[in-house]
Amino acid sequence: MTKASPDIAIVGAGIAGAAAAYRLHQLGADVEVHETSSIPGGRMASLEIAGATFDHGAQFFTTRGTEFQNLVEEAANSGAARVWTHGFGDVPDGYQRWCGVPDMTAFARWLLGKSEATVRFDEAVTDLSQLTAQAIILTPPVPVSLSLAINSGLEPPSHVRKTLEAVDYKRTIAVLLVLNQTPLGTPATGAIQLLDDPYLAFISDNQAKGVSSLPALTVHLTNETSLELWEESDETIIHFTLDKLKTHLSNVDVTSQAVTRWRYAGPVEVIPDLSISWNSRPSLVIAGETFNGPKVEGAFNSGIDAANKAMAGLSGGGGESCNE
């Protein structure tokens, strides 16, 4: 029987929120997830434009910890993930780069499905007092989570607030191009990782990757160039990108285009704790890739830790905690 109020509410169905829901299910908690978007995945979500599909945020993930590795292998056995490549250079470096199947959203969706949580999509949380759970896990980027907590009257202790206020993020502009034909110049993996290009950081051919049925390029500008062009019009950004692409690809015949501005592409510096909780009513835990991450696996680990802390809070073992 479903309870009138969930034990724990999670804000955000990105990988941190999905990981928290998954762990809470293992621990036997009743969980509700609130997600502002219509799909899960957050910064690893995919997007459709003019019939083409794009991974427009995270392009791949690595697995270092055993729990994440085992889960990703389980997802692969279920058809929701696969090893994309062992490196983007001429010679493989031996490390697995995983991606979701058919796209990056699929992995987050699979993990969320395992949690069996009630998920409310298209539901932006604007006031935490509307949530009736005993504990809340916040997984949006830190500035969003912090202002949500403060505006809801659940302000953290001043030293925690200071730590959270100091978090700064790099920006990434993603230029998404639907093409008339397959571009020339992409390697077999379908992606070019540019380590010393001052303008472009990553070029991914979504069709070659298996994400899109139509030719479609995702181009990530470097963090520096993204900052420089942030306020420019989409038209200017696309024109700039097409010009810089000529160095790497030919046959780029664009039929539709779009720009995604990732304001919170990744933390400039991570907070060493896996998540941070503080005593309030309801109790709050703040988590995500900014904690002990960054990147997809960091966000996963943070979500797991947040779930453990929220559960400890329910059973009376809570209290402010900034330790792993």
Ligand X SMILES: Cc1cc2nc3c(=O)[nH]c(=O)nc-3n(C[C@H](O)[C@H](O)[C@H](O)COP(=O)(O)OP(=O)(O)OC[C@H]3O[C@@H](n4cnc5c(N)ncnc54)[C@H](O)[C@@H]3O)c2cc1C
Q: Report the C-alpha gap between 155 and 131 in whole angstroms.
A: 16
Pairing status of strand 118-120 against strand 31-34? parallel
- 31 contributes a contact to ligand X by CB under 6 A: no
Question: Which of residues 113 and 255 has its CB atom nearest to ligand X in the complex?
Answer: 113
Q: Are 10 and 133 in contact (CB under 8 A)?
A: no
Q: Are 170 and 256 in contact (CB under 8 A)?
A: no
Q: What are phi and psi of 205, to 5 degrees?
A: -90, 100
Binds ligand X (CB under 6 A): choice among 20, 23, 43, 283: 43
Residue type present at position 70: N
Question: Which of residues 298 and 313 has its CB atom nearest to ligand X in the complex?
Answer: 298
Q: Which region, judged by CB under 6 A, interacts with ligand X, from 31-39, 82-90, 207-215, 239-247? A: 31-39
Residue type present at position 227: L
Binds ligand X (CB under 6 A): choice among 288, 312, 318, 321: 288
Question: Which of residues 72 and 249 has its CB atom nearest to ligand X in the complex?
Answer: 72
Q: Are 200 and 219 in contact (CB under 8 A)?
A: yes
Question: Which of residues 275 and 283 has its CB atom nearest to ligand X in the complex?
Answer: 275
- 57 contributes a contact to ligand X by CB under 6 A: yes
Q: Report the C-alpha gap between 70 and 14 in whole angstroms.
A: 19
Question: Which of residues 174 and 271 has its CB atom nearest to ligand X in the complex?
Answer: 174
Residue with tokens 């420089």: 228
Binds ligand X (CB under 6 A): choice among 27, 76, 83, 144: 144
- 294 contributes a contact to ligand X by CB under 6 A: yes
Binds ligand X (CB under 6 A): choice among 32, 46, 52, 59: 59
Rounded to the nearest whole angstrom, what is the least distance from the CB of residue 12 to ligand X in the complex? 3
Rounded to the nearest whole angstrom, what is the least distance from the CB of residue 128 to ligand X in the complex? 10
Dihedral angle sign, alpha carbons of residues 235, 259, 173, 238? negative
Rounded to the nearest whole angstrom, what is the least distance from the CB of residue 316 to ligand X in the complex? 28
DSSP string over 113-172: HHHT-EEE-S-----GGG---SEEEE-S-HHHHHHHHHHTT-PPPHHHHHHHHT--EEEE
Binds ligand X (CB under 6 A): choice among 140, 215, 282, 318: 140
Rounded to the nearest whole angstrom, what is the least distance from the CB of residue 315 to ligand X in the complex? 25
Q: Report the C-alpha gap between 148 and 189 in whole angstroms.
A: 41
- 139 contributes a contact to ligand X by CB under 6 A: yes
Measured torsion, CA atoms of residues 84, 88, 94, 95, in degrees rounded to the nearest 10: -60
Residue with tokens 């978007």: 37
Residues contacting ligand X: total by CB under 6 A: 38
Binds ligand X (CB under 6 A): choice among 10, 20, 32, 34: 34
Q: Which region, judged by CB under 6 A, interacts with ligand X, from 87-95, 110-118, 133-141, 175-183? A: 133-141
* Residues facing residue 99 across a β-bridge: 82
On the 0-12 / 13-18 / 19+ scale of CB atoms within 10 A, 324 is: exposed
Rounded to the nearest whole angstrom, what is the least distance from the CB of residue 306 to ligand X in the complex? 10
Binds ligand X (CB under 6 A): choice among 262, 271, 306, 312: 262
**In the structure encoding, which two tokens stand for residue 92, read together?**
């493989």
Interface residues with ligand X (CB under 6 A) are 11-17, 34-37, 42-44, 57-61, 124-125, 139-141, 144, 172, 174, 220, 262, 265-266, 288-289, 293-296, 299
